[in-house]
Amino acid sequence: MRTSHHSCPFQGASDLTRRTFLAGCAACTSASGAIGRALAAAAAGAAQASSNASRTRIGLVFTHIPPDRPTWPNVGYDYEGRKRELADKLRQACPDIEWVPATAHNADEAKQILNQQPAVDGYLVYLVGIWSGAPRALVESGRPVVLVDDFYAGSGEFLIEYARAKREGRRVTGVSSSRFEDVVAAAQCLACTRKLRESTILAVTERKHVEAAAKHIGEVFGTTVKHLHGADLNKAYESASLDEARPWAERWIAQAEKVVEPSREEIEKSARMYLGMRSLMDQHNARAITVDCLGLFYAGLMSAYPCLGFWELNNNGAIGACECDLDSTITMLAMTLATGRPGYISDPVVDTATNQVIYAHCVAPTKVFGQDGPTNPYHIRSHSEDRKGACIRSLLPLGEMTTTLKFFAARHEVIVHQGTSVANIDDDKACRTKLAVEVADADKVLEHWDQWGWHRVTFYGDLRPHVEHLSRLLGVKVVQEG
């Protein structure tokens, strides 16, 4: 057994609550010193370079009738002051969005806005008054729209127009909430639709399923999928410098709570694989890469497992996804773009005795709250099934809401369930990371698994609103699991 000399100050997986998780982050982050900071900056730079992102432009349309008429909110209401206030809050909360403001007092003015703003990626319609008729004109344009009720001002028209839009299957989502953060979440999902259309996924496999999956993903998300072969990845791996790879391996070892099976040489091979994948992503201007890791490795067509590379990519805003599962990959990409948080693919196990689902895989992030959030501890292990290579056992934070889902582009559906993280299971059988989550009813979760495949993708946080908003804007049906 090989262990590193560094150990993070945690008492073990079963004691990893949010308090101990946050308390130990500084020690984990500082372990690698200047080299670690330099490498982290390089990783973040690579993710940014591969994003190919132009700025999202959203039409911010305020709708109301003139202030001299008695109505909600009231006659003589200061619409202009309220519009300035809301526009300023949106600019501060969403600095990456270019807001294009306008006002529509009636349907004709809304149609003029549609003709004058052809370059926007969608509309956020703030109903700051009622009975203008403008929201319906914007909804019926066929463009993606977020309707927002400014409480006690736009409520009546919002309720009617949002219900109508949903019934008609429009690409519309709505916010009826006193929390401004909920408006921001919807705006981020609207911006996400633009980013998805600009994104590229690399699919590395010898299998022939890519063409059909790419077609469906393109139709629903607008995302491009490029099919590469094992030889392309091997070439990139062989071209990666061992001298450049070694500092990555040293950083990973230094920051690990422990290294169990893999040798330093094996971890260096993983670092070269990471650099090879990154070079392919740079070459194709891709946000995401998914590799048929088991098939290629078992067939002798891949020199090292990509697990550590996936972990590094996911921690830094890009996407590395297992087993060339394109539905899971687009799920990871969409939710990370919408929320800034990484997810991880798993092979779940359902325990009805404890009312838990255990999400097991040999890859998981250690920055589950996003790039700027804290880092949880991890172990470096061999890959579970064949006891070869190197992978991650992530000791994930407990006592947190999780959202687990998967988009199915071919069916225009997404399945979702939620629960609370309760344990990091330590069992030598099966995949290394095993996060146990207590769900509402484990028996019900069992009912329809055959229709959706084994894999699911888990994210930290109550992200159900993001799933709902994004699905409505994309024309995808949400299916509750369990």
Instruction: Give the pLDDT confidence score for residue 53 in this predicted structure.
Output: 55
SS3 of residue 88 by DSSP: helix
**Which residues does residue 282 pair with via DSSP β-bridges, in sequence order?**
none
Q: How far apart are CA 171 and CA 59, in angstroms?
A: 15
Nearest alpha carbon to residue 397 among 352, 437, 426: 437
Q: What digits encode the pLDDT tens for the residues 99-134? A: 999 999 999 999 999 998 778 999 999 999 999 999
Q: How far apart are CA 127 and CA 131, in angstroms?
A: 9
pLDDT of 25 above 60: no
Q: What global pTM score does this model have?
A: 0.89
Instruction: Give the pLDDT confidence score for residue 300 in this predicted structure.
Output: 86
**Which residues does residue 123 pair with via DSSP β-bridges, in sequence order?**
59, 145
| Structure-token pair, residue 101 | 């403001």
Q: How far apart are CA 271 and CA 390, in angstroms?
A: 10
Q: Which of 42-46, 228-232, 332-336, 401-405 has the lowest mean pLDDT?
A: 42-46
Tell me the pairing of strands 224-228 and 200-204.
parallel
Q: Contact, 166 vs 139, CB < 8 A?
A: no
What is the pLDDT of the chain when averaged over all its residues?
Answer: 90
Q: What digits encode the pLDDT tens for the residues 376-400? A: 999 999 998 899 999 999 999 999 9
Q: Contact, 365 vs 461, CB < 8 A?
A: no
| 375: region left, alpha or beta (phi > 0 left; psi from -120 to 50 alpha) | beta
CA 228 to chain centre: 23
Q: What digits encode the pLDDT tens for the residues 251-264? A: 999 999 999 999 99
Q: Contact, 46 vs 281, CB < 8 A?
A: yes
Domains of the chain: 13-52+198-480 (no CATH), 56-195 (3.40.50.10940)
| Structure-token pair, residue 247 | 């500092």
